[in-house]
A = this chain, B = another copy of it.
Amino acid sequence: MLYLIGLGLGDVKDITVKGLEIVRQCSRVYLEAYTSILTVGKEALEEYYGRELLLADRDMVEQQADEILKGADVSDVAFLVVGDPFGATTHSDLVLRALNAGIQYRVIHNASIMNAVGCCGLQLYNFGETVSIVFWTDTWRPESFYDKIKKNRDMGLHTLCLLPIPSLSRGRKIYEPPRYMTVAQAAEELLEILQNRRDRGEELAMTEDTVCVGLARIGAEDQTIRSGTLQELASCDLGGPLHSMIISGHLHPLEVDMLKLFSGPERLKTLKMTDSSTYVS
């Protein structure tokens, strides 16, 4: 049996009881090491599970899946994924290869960033399509994520923006310093896009004053949530990875009350709204 087991988002104890029991009885345990990271490292997991973990980078999962699946028809192999195995990245390919080789699989679910962002108080069923923001280079500055945000906002929906995380897999073959995108960097790109669109005379779907939420290390002890205008988030410091950001759509009064918890004491009383999702100071 191939077990795909979600580890949740924080530390070693965010695995489910069921997941932990399976990890402890499997013959081999792989740790998927390219989609996301926990706030603790492989060593902490190994110590807590009492098991050696085999690191599975992207190349291994894509090109040497047979190695992972070896013997899983007669014994149990666990494949650990930060968050949920079918969260932001799915592992359909590994599942299909397993079934093709006559190996059954089972999924042990856990929280992923896709549902845990609900902790900021914005309701999950009011989110539209999720977008991914990428690091711009001098020559590659895609703006397509803004167009998706626009569509969501036109329907009054919130947008979860997933930000780049450190690449732990590619770095071995091609040198690429591990880096993650901060909320401030994501906000900066978005501000530049707004200016570009304004220069072109486009009607904007949002402004520098639109309510946004920055989230860092969700699920961990030191998680940080900051709500404010897009302009404010462009200069916020939410600490270490992983970060994500939400662009609000239409806000329900209860959602506004929750967001006020995360806007900093100095803004708590002065916060006003001109429409359902724009601050005035």
Contacts and interface: CB of A to CB of B under 8 A. Distances in A.
Interface of A: 6, 8-18, 20-21, 84-88, 90, 92-93, 95-96, 99, 107, 109-112, 114-116, 118-119, 121, 123-132, 151, 155, 157, 162, 218-219, 254-255, 257-258, 261
Given A126-B129, A129-B157, A109 B16 contact: no
Closest 4 CB pairs of A and B: A86-B118, A109-B111, A13-B18, A125-B130
Contacts of A116: 84, 86, 109
A223 to B, nearest CB: 9
Nearest to A158: B129
Nearest to A89: B123
A254 B92 contact: yes
B151 A109 contact: no
Contacts of A118: 84-87, 90, 114
B124 A86 contact: yes
Contacts of A112: 111, 115, 124
A157 B87 CA distance: 16
B95 A258 contact: yes
A166 B111 CA distance: 24
Contacts of A218: 109
Please give the count of copies of this chain that the complex contains: 2
Nearest to A21: B13
Contacts of A255: 92
Contacts of A11: 18
Given A13-B16, A130-B125, A132-B125, A110 B107 contact: no
Nearest to A7: B16
A126 B219 CA distance: 24
Contacts of A15: 16-17
Contact of A107 (B93, B119, B254, B261): B119
A116 to B, nearest CB: 5
Contacts of A130: 124-125, 127
A88 B126 CA distance: 10
Contact of A90 (B10, B96, B123): B123
A73 to B, nearest CB: 17
A109 B9 contact: yes
Contact of A14 (B18, B92, B131): B18
A65 to B, nearest CB: 14
Which of A115, A126, A157 has the most B CB atoms < 10 Å from its CB?
A115
Nearest to A148: B155
